[in-house]
Amino acid sequence: MNLARDIAETLLSIEAVKVKTNPPFTWASGIKSPIYCDNRKLISYPDGRKKVVEGFKQLIREKNIQFDVIGGTATAAIPWASFLAYDLNVPMIYIRPEKKDHGSGKQVEGELKEGKRVLIVEDLISTGGSSVSAAEAVRNEGKCEVSDIIAIVSWELRKSIDQFAQANINLYTLTDYTNIIGMAKEKGNIKGEEYQIVLEFKEDPAAWGGKYGF
């Protein structure tokens, strides 16, 4: 089994990812979605945790990603950045969603020297906005280079693809929407015509719920 399918199977087996249409999930934005992801569950499963860290290391090797520092986005990706930085014995920072309104007023926490190459770690990529914002914080506040982001999952939304392209950032993920939905079908989580309905979500998330009467 390849990496993307293996990670997809792991996420589904521990119910870090759930897939259903009747009824669908409602995201904080109000969008109706057939999929829900809580990768925080993974940190409680040693085997799954190891698969993710080893998967990240494989991505780094295969894509020849060059970096000096690993940065995790707060809060969900901090454990993954920590595990990976420890395993590779490299410095780590983390990036807040926004600057603190007290104390140092920083958005980037940890010691970060100017000119370093930072590899940002994410748990989930949906629209990509928060990831690009984190990269810009490192670039602007830290005066450092961010060329690559790695993540456990991407929903493969067009908006995220455009955001990363505009920010000149390469995105590499362990698995994605297509592999997760394919594995869900294989495992019997979704059946028959439901597969195609679920697969269509990534093409136009905002319109998907209305199209199918959810």
Mean pLDDT over residues 101-124, rounded?
A: 93
CATH number, position 192? 3.40.50.2020
Model confidence at 103: pLDDT above 80: no
Model confidence at 1: pLDDT above 90: no
User: What mean pLDDT is reported for the chain?
Assistant: 96
Range of 21's domain?
3-211
Torsion angles phi and psi, residue 115, rounded to 5:
90, -5
Question: What pLDDT is stored for residue 19 in this prediction?
Answer: 96
Cβ-based neighbours of 198, under 8 Å, separated by 6 or more: 19, 21, 34, 35, 181, 184, 190
The strand pair at 108-109 and 92-95 is best described as antiparallel
For residue 48, the surrounding DSSP H or E stretch is helix 46-62
Q: pLDDT digits over 179-203, tens only?
A: 999 999 999 999 989 999 999 999 9
Count of the separate structural domains present in the chain: 1
d(CA 98, CA 107): 6
Question: What pLDDT is stored for residue 174 in this prediction?
Answer: 99
Model confidence at 154: pLDDT above 80: yes
Q: Is 95 helix (H, G, I), strand (E, B) or coil?
A: strand
Residue 174 Cα distances to 6, 11, 91, angstroms: 9, 11, 22
CB burial class (10 A; 0-12, 13-18, 19+) of residue 10?
buried
Question: What pLDDT is stored for residue 148 in this prediction?
Answer: 99
Question: What pLDDT is stored for residue 28 in this prediction?
Answer: 85
Model confidence at 101: pLDDT above 80: no
CB burial class (10 A; 0-12, 13-18, 19+) of residue 43?
middle
DSSP letters spanning 139-202: HHHS--EEEEEEEEEE---HHHHHHHHHTT-EEEEEEEHHHHHHHHHHTTSS-TTHHHHHHGGG
Q: Is 92 helix (H, G, I), strand (E, B) or coil?
A: strand
Pick from 19, 54, 61: nearest CA to 195 = 19
The strand pair at 92-95 and 69-73 is best described as parallel
Question: What pLDDT is stored for residue 8 in this prediction?
Answer: 99
Q: pLDDT digits over 4-60, tens only?
A: 999 999 999 999 999 999 899 999 889 999 999 999 999 999 999 999 999 999 999
Question: What pLDDT is stored for residue 29 in this prediction?
Answer: 87
